[in-house]
Amino acid sequence: MRHSAARKKTVFLFPGQGAVPESPLVDFVGTSIEEQYNLLRGEASPPLSMFEQGNIDSDRSAQLGVFGLSLAMGREAMHHCTPDMITGYSSGLYAAMAASGGLTPDQGNQAIELAYAGICQSDMNTVMVGIIGLKVERVATLLQEQQPQGALSLVNNKSQTIVSIAKERFSAFQRDCLGAGALKIIPLPFTYPYHVPALAKTSQNLMAYFDSLTMPPLEIPMVAGSSPEYVDIDSSRIGMLVASQLSQTVYWHDTIHALIGLGAETFVVFDPTGTLTRIIRWISRQITVIPIETPADIRCLRDLR
């Protein structure tokens, strides 16, 4: 790893399953990234030339496809720039683990398949909902007032959250949030809920899978977990943190602030949709965010050396 007192610390960030583009990524077709993607992708995801929302028929397909694409982008980027730290948003932690050397790509795909299989077995008639413009404390109170109670799944920042709510309670919850001052209530195109207590058994099964692997020391330190933790060597520790977040609220803004506290000033985001880039910029304007949305963006990373 490179060290320089004058150099800004750089973090690589990998997106979650929402990073499926609306149209094919024509700029990537015919490049080394497409070649890597087609080697890395899980069998449930389409080839890169067809990787778009219209060809994604399940959460599984989205997660495996985003894993393959973001990991391919990250690997290509490492030819130009070695990050000081690495992390991932929600399911993006699987790609982060693979990029940091803690998992092979095949193990990353298998971990996603295992987690998804457990989620599918859960008997939950719920919808995931994005809430913009309402403080997280108020959202948590409104969730507790629902019967059955909803779950706070992701806290992107102090006034942007993602929750899981029973489908029959969505209309009442939407009304309550708007009445409390929310700007937008957005049902998300996910079939199953994530980061909810009902997935505790799935978390345990995923941890057992990680325990069964011979995981090498991390090559790049990671920050991960529902309450973010810095890990510089121990892959098994990262495995526990990744598995546990399936059933716990993910405080993403805490992850970003933890990285800033560790000296990170430049965040490189492997999300061709730009969604994760926007989330990070809402958290802090004091950092440099570099979105990687085309092969040309990756080549520009050589300037970070």
1 in any annotated domain? no
**How far is CA 29 from each of CA 1, 77, 259, rounded to the nearest angstrom?**
31, 17, 33
Q: At which of 187, 205, 233 does a domain end? A: 187
Look up tokens 């965010």; give the residue. 289
Same domain, 253 and 286: yes
168 in any annotated domain? yes
- Number of domains present in the structure of the chain: 2
53 in any annotated domain? yes
Same domain, 115 and 223: yes
Same domain, 169 and 284: no
209 in any annotated domain? yes
Same domain, 38 and 131: no
Residue 192: Cβ within 10 Å count: 20
Same domain, 105 and 92: yes
Helix axis angle for 170-179 and 136-144, nearest 10°, is 140
4 in any annotated domain? no
Rounded Cα–Cα distance for residues 34 and 163 (Å):
34
Q: What is the pTM of this model?
A: 0.93
HSE, side-chain direction, 13 A CA sphere, residue 226: 17
CATH number of the domain to which 180 belongs: 3.30.70.250
Is the separation of the CB atoms in 217 and 233 below 8 Å? Answer: yes
Q: At which of 142, 165, 187 does a domain end? A: 187
Same domain, 35 and 155: no
Same domain, 57 and 114: yes
Model confidence at 2, pLDDT cuts 50, 70, 90, reads very low
Rounded Cα–Cα distance for residues 188 and 12 (Å):
26
Same domain, 106 and 135: no
b/e string for 152-189 if b means 16 or more Cβ within 10 A? bbbbbbebbbbbbbbeebbeebbebbeeeebeebeeee
Rounded Cα–Cα distance for residues 160 and 137 (Å):
11
* 56-65 pLDDT, tens digit each: 888 999 999 9
Q: At which of 141, 161, 187 does a domain end? A: 187
Same domain, 144 and 99: no
Q: Nearest Cα to 129, choosing from 166, 89, 88?
A: 166
Same domain, 60 and 101: yes
2 in any annotated domain? no
Same domain, 13 and 108: yes
Q: What is the pLDDT of residue 3?
A: 40
* 201-251 pLDDT, tens digit each: 999 999 999 999 999 999 999 999 998 999 999 999 999 999 999 999 999
3 in any annotated domain? no
CATH number of the domain to which 46 belongs: 3.40.366.10
Same domain, 149 and 228: no
116 in any annotated domain? yes
Percent of the residues in the chain that have a pLDDT greater than 90, as a whole number: 78
* 95-152 pLDDT, tens digit each: 999 999 999 999 999 999 999 999 887 766 899 999 999 999 999 999 999 888 899 9
- The boundaries of the domain holding residue 34 are 9-121+196-304
**How far is CA 19 from each of CA 22, 52, 169, 171, 244, rounded to the nearest angstrom?**
9, 10, 27, 27, 22
